[in-house]
Amino acid sequence: MFDISNYREALSVKDAMTYLKEDPSSMVIAGGTDVLIKVREGKLAGSSLVGIHKIDDLKGICKDANGDIHIGSLVCFTQLEEDEIIKENVDYLGKAGGTMGGPQLRNIATIGGNVCNGVTSADSGSMLVCLNANLKLSSIDGERIMPISDFYMGPGKVDLRAGELLTDIIIMKEDYEGFTGKYIKFSQRRAMDIATIGCSVMLKQKGGVITDFRLGYGVAAPTPVRCPVAEAFAVGKKATEENAKAIGEKALEDVMPRDSWRGSKAFRQQLIKELARKAIEELAGLRGGQDA
Amino acid sequence: MLKQINITLNGVERSVEIDERESLLEVLRDKLYMTSVKHGCGVGECGACAVLIDGVAIDSCIYLATWADGKEIRTVEGFEQDGELNAMQEAFVEEGAVQCGFCIPGFLVSATELKETNKSYTRDEVRKALSGHLCRCTGYQKIVEATEKGLEKE
């Protein structure tokens, strides 16, 4: 039995917001694949939980009249990977989610939970940061929309206020249209493992020249981060193997990886350079090989 | 925190009193005696506790029993029909995919989920579909081969 002090099942967004308001100490549980582990470990033992598992309104993916994509916070990773709107417009986000855990976890773990858990290794994190995703946070007192990069405050810390529920992840049309993207996860095992480094690249090119470029990492800093120095360096450069390598090296100025039992700082720095190079080469059509 | 839930378990409607703090794994094993569902790691890493919930494989150790209310749950106990093993069970036997056997119910759950899509899969796709299960005996080769054989049956 889990050490839970109270459990309330919300059947609608309004229910959830009401329950969260009534008990400000309560926490949201969605798929449970992070929360229940932390309860088991003791980190969240004794928690009062508001279950949102059954709120169907948060399980949709749609494209609005402006072309912006809305992903409900309860969309699980299997759904994200298989969804036609995602496949057509931001397949690389679905594929990034498809590297998380294993199939049974992806069948229930949600994208909203992945974001709110706030860890740097979240496989959707660095790609959502590259996509300039906006988060809609709803509470009984109103709603606010904020960029995901501002939402991440530190390891396991996000700007989710008491009474708030993440309801919608919004990707604006200008943030995906015309881009190709690639997420490369480096981990010790190909499944059921946490990234040693996760690298997200988005790229636009015209006539062999990089016209727009976004680079983000997980596990290269306390939160998923973008690489403004490397991005500025890349734009306007020819898409060549030499430049792909140079951009990867430049990324080291943007990140601050550290030693952990999963990998040393030096190894992570090597991965940061190499994964960016590999992703750029693949997106720019400079290599035929298949990567992880 | 007691609550009554209604589920369809292997085709039979069941009503069971649960505690909202219980995992589905605990309810299946201790209250409904579905002991094919194994308690392995307890944290969603080994897949030994996988069951089909509305046809989708889920690790029952980190699934609150209360969420199962109104859903269709299937375990290996319900796989055989009229004394006949299902295609995956047969293939696992024929290929000798089983050593100690602890992980096998979980593998059968994911393999059966795959079979029920009626699609064909490459070896890489089969391996990916089974990648949420750990086996400490077999080295996976026989399990992958059995799953491929099961997919071809009928």
Q: Where are the domains of chain A?
A: 4-51, 56-175, 180-283
Note the pLDDT tens digit of each residue in A258-278. Answer: 999 999 999 999 999 999 999
Residues of chain B contacting A6 with CB distance shorter than 8 Å? 1
Is pLDDT at B57 greater than 60 in this prediction? Answer: yes
Q: For residue A7, give the chain B residue with the closest CA.
A: B20
ipTM for this model: 0.96
Q: For residue A6, give the chain B residue with the closest CA.
A: B1
Q: Where are the beta strands (DSSP E) in A11-82?
A: 27-29, 47-51, 61-63, 69-72
Per-residue model confidence (pLDDT) at position A202: 98
Q: Do A107 and B19 touch (CB under 8 A)?
A: no
DSSP state of B36: T
Say yes or no: B12 contacts chain A, CB-CB below 8 A: no
Sheet containing A27-29: which strands, arranged edge to edge? A4-9, A47-51, A27-29
Residues of chain A contacting B62 with CB distance shorter than 8 Å? 32-33, 36-37
Do A24 and A162 meet the contact criterion of CB atoms below 8 Å apart? yes
Q: Which CATH code fits A56-175?
A: 3.30.465.10
Angle at which helices B87-95 and B141-152 pack, to 10 degrees? Answer: 140
Per-residue model confidence (pLDDT) at position B78: 97
Say yes or no: B39 contacts chain A, CB-CB below 8 A: no
Per-residue model confidence (pLDDT) at position B41: 96
Say yes or no: A3 contacts chain B, CB-CB below 8 A: yes
Per-residue model confidence (pLDDT) at position B76: 98
Residue recorded with tokens 């009062």 = A48
End-to-end CA distance of chain A: 38
Note the pLDDT tens digit of each residue in A109-138. Answer: 999 999 999 999 999 999 999 999 999 999
- Alpha-helical (H) ranges within chain B are 24-26, 87-95, 104-115, 123-129, 141-152
| Domains recognised in chain B with CATH numbers | 2-75 (3.10.20.30), 87-152 (1.10.150.120)
Per-residue model confidence (pLDDT) at position B36: 98
Q: Do A4 and B21 touch (CB under 8 A)?
A: yes
SS3 call for B87: helix
How many alpha carbons lie under 13 Å from residue B138 in its C-beta half-sphere? 22
Fold classification of A180-283 (topology level): Enolase-like; domain 1 (3.30.390)
Residues of chain B contacting A104 with CB distance shorter than 8 Å? 44, 47, 50, 57-59, 110, 132
Strands B72-74 and B2-9: parallel
Q: Do B67 and A53 touch (CB under 8 A)?
A: yes
Give the DSSP H or E segment for A136. strand A134-139
Residues of chain A contacting B111 with CB distance shorter than 8 Å? none
Question: Tokens representing A262?
Answer: 């999963």
- Average pLDDT of every residue of chain B: 97
Tell the burial category of A249 from Cβ atoms under 10 Å away from its Cβ (0-12, 13-18, 19+). Answer: middle
Per-residue model confidence (pLDDT) at position B154: 78
CA distance A43 to chain B (A): 14
Say yes or no: B36 contacts chain A, CB-CB below 8 A: no
Note the pLDDT tens digit of each residue in B80-117. Answer: 999 999 999 999 999 999 999 999 999 999 999 999 99
Those residues of chain A that have pLDDT short of 50 are 289-292
